[in-house]
């Protein structure tokens, strides 16, 4: 056996070991926070919807607009140890593991990116996953979107039409994961873009390629329509297509109150993020320009002086890069308070802009191979499409960089390593300052991502802190570390629920506490997040009325009411004043809760007040009294007797 064969074997073995180590880390790292923090909003809300999936306990709009996510979540609840916060966090966290490992294999095997660069990119992508994994309508969307990108790339570059059909199936299924994924059909633009790239690359007549591109497009659309047809047929058989149509109709109607879900509002907020961050981009580019001017001046000298001044210019570039990082921290571009979004918000948006800029450069670079042009276009599309359909600005795109992060790092690595200085007409145009600045930014970005990824745990749209306590009398929350104050809240509430045998009883939750349905194992009488703005007052009134009808017809049915503290204080205040709850109006509620700020109440606050008026009448009609109260929650039960 010759030396080359032995060396190749050792290299191959080393690569396999690298793969194994990297894959294990990428699979485990997303699970680092499964036992940390409790969130009273999204996490338990989604888990409750999974456990109690169906029209009996869910709002039809939410059930059907995120149907596949709820269905997958329901199946997860049937797995061993799933009915606990720790178990559900584990199972849903594996979706991030799948994203990272799939991205790793695709980038190393198909895109040919160096392993350690892909590994670094996937770690960055995982660290930027700020969104709780309970939101399967996001993570299942990202999984299907990643699969679609992989299949489109392989189907187009390897001429495999079956892959294009399956990519279409993914796009169709994604509409049932989250209805607002409908714009993802724009990924089919990649088919036409690649057709143009092939035509320019081959210098052939367009007729044959045009027919081929149209055929490929029809295959993708066929896959999408097939998935939609099959899934809608299943929904029709199980629920009736009328129920589905009504739920989706209400989804469109909710923009009357929740204006941040309007298409123009979502698009504007996303673009605002990018335009606001131009402030930083322009200044970073100005620093690069200063460095290039220094090089240009150094290039005007001759002989030894030129070499001396060019070396000095390199030193200046390094100093400028260090000063840029110091300046960015000083000006608040990012922070080191890693329990908030501050450390990554602006750096991540600049990284998104860098990814799209690099993609555009490679697309129009005549020297770039057509496969690289294709993945560049797909990266740009994914970054833009991911945020469409969400009211979270660019946050969704930040959460979905499992191809974009390795791709951007790879392109920057090639730029820094391979692009050399130019000397047109004897003048020196050096890209050394750009390389130094980009390297400094990427290192700073990696440090920020590492700190954020290790510390940040989602809790009510911010970050959890001081996670040192546990709840010992609630099996759902067993093993979860949380803030001591929250532990006291939940311990006291859980004790009351256990002592009064309320587990399993239906509950009406009002206030920003929908997660209690899952944490207390109390199915919601209708929508666990009943004060959410997108859940209209009309629908709330209708479903509360249906609940009242059930109370009237069945004396054994006595749903529990749990209020957030501010609403409990409002109720107590009204009772202390001997107010007739039947005559209370929304202005009274706003005045009680907001005081002198009542006149400037937001749409959300006004809508919640309108709903609370209806709930107060329900409380008064059926003799509810406050049976438990602590610093966060109040529990209302029916204490006065009712005739059967």
Q: How far apart are CA 236 and CA 1, in angstroms?
A: 66
pLDDT in tens, 198-227: 887 766 555 677 888 999 999 999 999 999
Neighbours of 556 (CB within 10 A): 6
Supply the pLDDT for residue 200.
79
Buried b (16+ CB within 10 A) or exposed e, 361-377: ebbeeeeeeebbbbbbb
Supply the pLDDT for residue 579.
76
Q: Is residue 82 predicted with pLDDT exceeding 50?
A: yes
Residue in the structure block whose two tokens are 């879900």: 261
Work out the percent of the chain whose per-residue pLDDT is above 70: 95
Q: E strands along 541-602, which residues? A: 560-564
Global pTM? 0.95
Q: How far apart are CA 288 and CA 438, in angstroms?
A: 9
**Alpha helices (runs of H) in 299-344, residue ranges in sequence order:** 303-330
pLDDT in tens, 368-406: 999 999 999 999 999 999 998 788 999 999 999 999 999
Supply the pLDDT for residue 2.
58
pLDDT in tens, 19-40: 999 999 999 999 999 999 999 9
Q: Which pair of structure tokens corresponds to residue 287?
A: 């620093």
Q: Is residue 632 predicted with pLDDT exceeding 50?
A: yes
Let me know: does 480 contact 6? Beta carbons within 8 Å.
Answer: no
Work out the percent of the chain whose per-residue pLDDT is above 90: 80
Contacts for 365-372: CB closer than 8 Å, 24+ residues apart: 370/157, 370/194, 370/197, 370/198, 370/201, 371/153, 371/157
Q: Among 381, 392, 404, 349, which residue's Cα sits nearest to residue 137?
A: 392
Supply the pLDDT for residue 111.
97
Q: Which pair of structure tokens corresponds to residue 3?
A: 């030396």
Let me know: does 507 contact 560? Beta carbons within 8 Å.
Answer: yes
Rounded to 5 degrees, what angle do the CA atoms 115, 119, 123 make? 175
Supply the pLDDT for residue 257.
67
Q: Is residue 644 predicted with pLDDT exceeding 50?
A: no
Q: How far apart are CA 288 and CA 310, in angstroms?
A: 16
Of 1-5, 163-167, 321-325, 500-504, the least confident: 1-5
Q: Which pair of structure tokens corresponds to residue 322?
A: 């260090």
Supply the pLDDT for residue 424.
73
pLDDT in tens, 175-189: 999 999 999 999 999
Buried b (16+ CB within 10 A) or exposed e, 108-142: beebebeeebbbbbbbbbbbbbbbbbbbbbbbbbb
Let me know: does 92 contact 139? Beta carbons within 8 Å.
Answer: yes
Supply the pLDDT for residue 643.
46
Average pLDDT, the chain: 92
Q: How far apart are CA 190 and CA 217, in angstroms?
A: 9
Let me know: does 613 contact 586? Beta carbons within 8 Å.
Answer: yes
pLDDT in tens, 442-495: 999 999 999 999 999 999 988 999 999 999 999 999 999 999 999 999 999 999
Supply the pLDDT for residue 265.
80
What average pLDDT does the segment 91-110 reach? 98
Comparison of pLDDT for 254 and 184, the residue scoring more: 184
Q: How far apart are CA 317 and CA 321, in angstroms?
A: 6
* Highest mean pLDDT pick, 275-279, 532-536, 574-578: 275-279
Of 263-272, 408-417, 429-438, the least confident: 263-272
Supply the pLDDT for residue 429.
83
Q: How far apart are CA 488 and CA 370, in angstroms?
A: 60
What average pLDDT does the segment 553-565 reach? 95
Let me know: does 378 contact 190? Beta carbons within 8 Å.
Answer: yes
Q: How far apart are CA 606 and CA 611, in angstroms?
A: 9
Q: How far apart are CA 360 and CA 231, in angstroms?
A: 37
Let me know: does 344 contact 131? Beta carbons within 8 Å.
Answer: no
Supply the pLDDT for residue 44.
96
Strand partners, 624: 638
Let me know: does 273 contact 393? Beta carbons within 8 Å.
Answer: yes
Supply the pLDDT for residue 394.
96
Of 267-281, 289-303, 481-495, the least confident: 289-303
Let me know: does 89 contact 133? Beta carbons within 8 Å.
Answer: yes
Supply the pLDDT for residue 40.
96
Supply the pLDDT for residue 207.
61
Comparison of pLDDT for 560 and 260, the residue scoring more: 560
């Amino acid at each position: 056996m010759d030396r080359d064969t032995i060396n190749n074997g050792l290299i191959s073995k080393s690569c396999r070991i690298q793969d194994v180590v990297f894959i294990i880390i990428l699979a485990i790292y997303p699970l680092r926070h499964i036992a940390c923090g409790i969130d009273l909003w999204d996490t338990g809300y989604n888990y409750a919807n999974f456990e109690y999936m169906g029209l009996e306990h869910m709002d039809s709009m939410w059930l059907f607009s995120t149907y596949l996510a709820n269905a997958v979540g329901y199946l997860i609840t049937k797995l061993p140890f799933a009915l606990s916060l720790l178990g559900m966090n584990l199972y849903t966290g594996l979706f991030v593991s799948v994203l990272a490992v799939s991205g790793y294999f695709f980038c190393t095997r198909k895109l040919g990116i160096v392993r350690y660069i892909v590994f670094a990119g996937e770690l960055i992508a995982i660290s930027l996953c700020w969104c709780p994994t309970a939101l399967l309508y996001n993570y299942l969307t990202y999984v299907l979107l990643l699969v679609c990108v992989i299949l489109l790339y392989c189907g187009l570059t390897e001429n495999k039409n079956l892959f294009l059909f399956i990519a279409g199936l993914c796009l169709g299924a994604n509409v049932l994961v989250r209805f607002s994924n409908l714009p993802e059909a724009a990924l089919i633009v990649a088919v036409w873009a690649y057709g143009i790239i092939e035509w320019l690359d081959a210098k052939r007549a367009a007729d044959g390629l045009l027919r081929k591109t149209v055929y490929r497009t029809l295959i993708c659309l066929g896959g999408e329509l097939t998935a939609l047809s099959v899934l809608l047929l299943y929904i029709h058989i199980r629920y009736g297509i009328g129920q589905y149509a009504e739920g989706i109709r209400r989804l469109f109607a909710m923009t009357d109150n929740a204006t941040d879900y309007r298409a123009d509002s979502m698009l504007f907020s996303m673009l605002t993020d990018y335009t606001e961050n131009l402030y930083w981009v322009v200044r970073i580019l100005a620093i690069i320009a200063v460095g290039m001017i220094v090089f240009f001046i150094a290039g005007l000298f001759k002989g030894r002086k030129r070499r001396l001044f060019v070396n000095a210019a390199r030193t200046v570039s390094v100093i400028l890069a260090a000063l840029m990082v110091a300046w960015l921290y000083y000006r608040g571009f990012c922070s080191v308070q890693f329990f908030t979004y501050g450390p990554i918000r602006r750096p991540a948006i600049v990284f998104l802009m860098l990814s799209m800029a690099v993609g555009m450069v490679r697309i129009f670079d005549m020297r770039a191979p057509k496969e690289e042009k294709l993945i560049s276009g797909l990266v740009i599309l994914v970054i833009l499409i991911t945020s469409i359909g969400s009211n979270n600005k660019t946050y969704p795109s930040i959460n979905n960089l499992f191809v974009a992060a390795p791709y951007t790092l790879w392109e920057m690595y090639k730029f820094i390593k391979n692009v050399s200085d130019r000397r047109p007409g004897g003048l020196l145009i050096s890209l050394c300052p750009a390389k130094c600045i980009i390297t400094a930014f990427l290192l700073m970005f990696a440090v920020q991502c590492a700190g954020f990824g290790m510390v940040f745990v989602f809790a009510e749209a911010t970050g959890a802190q001081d996670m040192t306590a546990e709840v010992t009398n609630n099996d759902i929350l067993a093993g979860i570390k949380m803030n001591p104050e929250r532990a006291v809240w939940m311990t006291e509430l859980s004790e009351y629920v256990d002592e009064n045998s309320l587990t399993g009883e239906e509950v009406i939750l009002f206030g920003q506490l929908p997660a209690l349905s899952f944490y207390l194992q109390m199915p919601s009488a209708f929508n666990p997040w009943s004060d959410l703005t997108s859940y209209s007052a009309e629908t709330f009134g209708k479903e509360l009325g249906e609940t009242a009808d059930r109370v009237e017809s069945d004396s054994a049915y006595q749903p529990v009411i749990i209020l957030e503290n501010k609403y409990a204080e409002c109720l107590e205040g009204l009772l202390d004043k001997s107010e007739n709850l039947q005559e209370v109006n929304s202005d009274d509620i706003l005045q009680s809760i907001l005081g002198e700020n009542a006149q400037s109440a937001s749409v959300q606050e006004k809508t919640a007040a309108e709903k609370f008026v209806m709930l107060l009448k329900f409380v008064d009609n059926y003799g509810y009294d406050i049976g438990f109260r602590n610093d966060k929650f109040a529990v209302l039960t029916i204490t006065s007797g009712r005739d059967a």
